[in-house]
Protein backbone atom coordinates (compact mmCIF):
# COMPACT_ATOMS: atom_id res chain seq x y z
CA UNK A 1 0.00 0.00 0.00
CA UNK A 2 1.79 3.04 -1.30
CA UNK A 3 0.18 5.96 0.49
CA UNK A 4 2.26 9.15 0.63
CA UNK A 5 2.97 10.24 4.20
CA UNK A 6 1.09 13.54 3.81
CA UNK A 7 -2.09 11.67 2.75
CA UNK A 8 -2.00 9.29 5.71
CA UNK A 9 -2.99 12.04 8.12
CA UNK A 10 -5.46 13.80 5.81
CA UNK A 11 -9.05 12.98 6.67
CA UNK A 12 -11.00 11.04 4.03
CA UNK A 13 -14.13 12.19 5.76
CA UNK A 14 -14.81 14.63 8.56
CA UNK A 15 -14.09 12.10 11.29
CA UNK A 16 -11.48 9.55 10.16
CA UNK A 17 -8.03 9.46 8.58
CA UNK A 18 -6.79 6.94 6.01
CA UNK A 19 -4.76 5.03 8.61
CA UNK A 20 -7.70 4.81 11.03
CA UNK A 21 -10.01 3.68 8.21
CA UNK A 22 -7.61 0.91 7.20
CA UNK A 23 -7.38 -0.37 10.77
CA UNK A 24 -11.15 -0.38 11.10
CA UNK A 25 -11.70 -2.16 7.80
CA UNK A 26 -9.10 -4.82 8.48
CA UNK A 27 -11.25 -5.83 11.45
CA UNK A 28 -14.46 -6.26 9.50
CA UNK A 29 -14.38 -7.98 6.09
CA UNK A 30 -18.17 -7.95 5.67
CA UNK A 31 -18.22 -4.13 5.92
CA UNK A 32 -15.63 -3.91 3.15
CA UNK A 33 -17.70 -6.16 0.92
CA UNK A 34 -20.82 -4.12 1.65
CA UNK A 35 -19.04 -0.83 0.94
CA UNK A 36 -17.51 -2.22 -2.29
CA UNK A 37 -20.93 -3.45 -3.44
CA UNK A 38 -22.54 -0.09 -2.69
CA UNK A 39 -19.67 1.70 -4.41
CA UNK A 40 -20.08 -0.48 -7.49
CA UNK A 41 -23.82 0.21 -7.61
CA UNK A 42 -23.19 3.96 -7.28
CA UNK A 43 -20.57 3.70 -10.02
CA UNK A 44 -23.08 2.09 -12.39
CA UNK A 45 -25.49 4.96 -11.71
CA UNK A 46 -22.69 7.50 -12.27
CA UNK A 47 -21.84 5.95 -15.63
CA UNK A 48 -25.52 6.00 -16.58
CA UNK A 49 -25.56 9.66 -15.57
CA UNK A 50 -22.90 10.41 -18.17
CA UNK A 51 -25.20 9.22 -20.97
CA UNK A 52 -28.76 9.65 -19.66
CA UNK A 53 -30.03 13.20 -19.17
CA UNK A 54 -31.61 13.75 -15.78
CA UNK A 55 -29.48 11.21 -13.87
CA UNK A 56 -26.80 13.11 -11.95
CA UNK A 57 -23.33 11.78 -12.64
CA UNK A 58 -21.15 13.61 -10.13
CA UNK A 59 -23.09 12.86 -6.93
CA UNK A 60 -23.07 9.14 -7.71
CA UNK A 61 -19.36 9.30 -8.60
CA UNK A 62 -18.67 11.03 -5.26
CA UNK A 63 -20.69 8.40 -3.40
CA UNK A 64 -18.82 5.66 -5.21
CA UNK A 65 -15.47 7.24 -4.31
CA UNK A 66 -16.45 7.54 -0.64
CA UNK A 67 -17.55 3.91 -0.48
CA UNK A 68 -14.48 2.67 -2.36
CA UNK A 69 -12.25 4.69 -0.01
CA UNK A 70 -13.77 2.76 2.88
CA UNK A 71 -13.56 -0.64 1.18
CA UNK A 72 -10.62 -0.92 -1.19
CA UNK A 73 -7.65 1.27 -1.90
CA UNK A 74 -7.28 -0.32 -5.34
CA UNK A 75 -10.87 0.50 -6.33
CA UNK A 76 -10.56 4.02 -4.94
CA UNK A 77 -7.32 4.71 -6.83
CA UNK A 78 -8.76 3.14 -10.00
CA UNK A 79 -11.79 5.44 -9.80
CA UNK A 80 -9.65 8.54 -9.24
CA UNK A 81 -7.48 7.62 -12.23
CA UNK A 82 -10.51 7.08 -14.49
CA UNK A 83 -10.39 9.62 -17.32
CA UNK A 84 -14.12 10.44 -17.20
CA UNK A 85 -15.09 10.27 -13.53
CA UNK A 86 -11.71 10.92 -11.89
CA UNK A 87 -11.49 14.63 -12.78
CA UNK A 88 -15.02 15.25 -11.44
CA UNK A 89 -14.14 13.69 -8.09
CA UNK A 90 -10.75 15.40 -7.82
CA UNK A 91 -12.28 18.76 -8.70
CA UNK A 92 -14.90 18.36 -5.97
CA UNK A 93 -12.21 17.32 -3.46
CA UNK A 94 -10.01 20.32 -4.30
CA UNK A 95 -12.82 22.83 -4.08
CA UNK A 96 -14.59 21.19 -1.11
CA UNK A 97 -17.89 21.62 -2.95
CA UNK A 98 -19.37 23.20 -6.07
CA UNK A 99 -18.85 26.87 -6.97
CA UNK A 100 -21.87 29.18 -7.34
CA UNK A 101 -21.32 29.20 -11.09
CA UNK A 102 -21.34 25.41 -11.12
CA UNK A 103 -24.55 25.35 -9.09
CA UNK A 104 -26.19 27.77 -11.53
CA UNK A 105 -25.17 25.56 -14.49
CA UNK A 106 -26.49 22.43 -12.76
CA UNK A 107 -29.81 24.11 -11.94
CA UNK A 108 -30.20 25.46 -15.49
CA UNK A 109 -29.60 21.97 -16.90
CA UNK A 110 -32.02 20.44 -14.39
CA UNK A 111 -34.74 22.99 -15.13
CA UNK A 112 -34.30 22.50 -18.87
CA UNK A 113 -34.59 18.71 -18.60
CA UNK A 114 -37.56 18.93 -16.22
CA UNK A 115 -39.43 21.34 -18.49
CA UNK A 116 -38.72 19.28 -21.60
CA UNK A 117 -39.77 16.09 -19.84
CA UNK A 118 -42.93 17.48 -18.30
CA UNK A 119 -44.28 19.56 -21.19
CA UNK A 120 -43.01 17.85 -24.35
CA UNK A 121 -42.96 14.19 -23.33
CA UNK A 122 -45.48 13.66 -20.53
CA UNK A 123 -49.18 14.19 -21.21
CA UNK A 124 -50.60 13.00 -17.88
CA UNK A 125 -51.16 16.04 -15.59
CA UNK A 126 -50.49 14.14 -12.33
CA UNK A 127 -47.12 12.85 -13.55
CA UNK A 128 -46.29 16.30 -14.93
CA UNK A 129 -46.86 17.81 -11.47
CA UNK A 130 -44.68 15.15 -9.83
CA UNK A 131 -41.86 15.86 -12.29
CA UNK A 132 -42.12 19.62 -11.78
CA UNK A 133 -42.14 19.28 -7.98
CA UNK A 134 -39.20 16.86 -8.11
CA UNK A 135 -37.28 19.37 -10.22
CA UNK A 136 -38.06 22.11 -7.71
CA UNK A 137 -36.85 19.94 -4.81
CA UNK A 138 -33.69 19.07 -6.76
CA UNK A 139 -32.93 22.74 -7.44
CA UNK A 140 -33.47 23.62 -3.77
CA UNK A 141 -31.15 20.80 -2.68
CA UNK A 142 -28.42 21.86 -5.11
CA UNK A 143 -28.62 25.53 -4.13
CA UNK A 144 -28.97 25.22 -0.35
CA UNK A 145 -27.56 21.84 0.68
CA UNK A 146 -24.67 21.08 -1.69
CA UNK A 147 -21.56 22.63 -0.14
CA UNK A 148 -20.27 25.72 -1.86
CA UNK A 149 -16.66 25.27 -2.84
CA UNK A 150 -14.09 27.90 -3.46
CA UNK A 151 -12.93 28.72 -6.98
CA UNK A 152 -9.93 26.66 -8.01
CA UNK A 153 -6.98 28.05 -9.92
CA UNK A 154 -4.24 26.13 -11.71
CA UNK A 155 -1.59 27.56 -9.34
CA UNK A 156 -3.20 25.65 -6.45
CA UNK A 157 -3.07 22.28 -8.22
Reported as a single tens digit per residue, the pLDDT across 19-61 is: 776 666 666 788 888 889 998 998 888 888 777 666 777 778 8
pLDDT in tens, the chain (157 residues): 566 666 555 555 555 666 776 666 666 788 888 889 998 998 888 888 777 666 777 778 888 888 888 888 898 889 889 888 888 788 777 777 777 887 888 888 888 888 888 888 878 888 888 888 888 887 887 788 777 776 555 444 4
Q: Tell me what pLDDT residue 157 has.
A: 47
Dist. CA 115–CA 95, nearest whole Å: 30
The domain limits of the chain are 1-95, 97-157
**Residue 86 neighbours by CB under 8 Å, 6+ apart:** 79, 80
Amino acid sequence: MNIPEERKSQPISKEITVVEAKKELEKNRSKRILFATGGSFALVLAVLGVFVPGIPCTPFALLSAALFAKSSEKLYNWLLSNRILGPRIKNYQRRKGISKGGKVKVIILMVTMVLVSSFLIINVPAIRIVILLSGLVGAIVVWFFVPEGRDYTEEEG
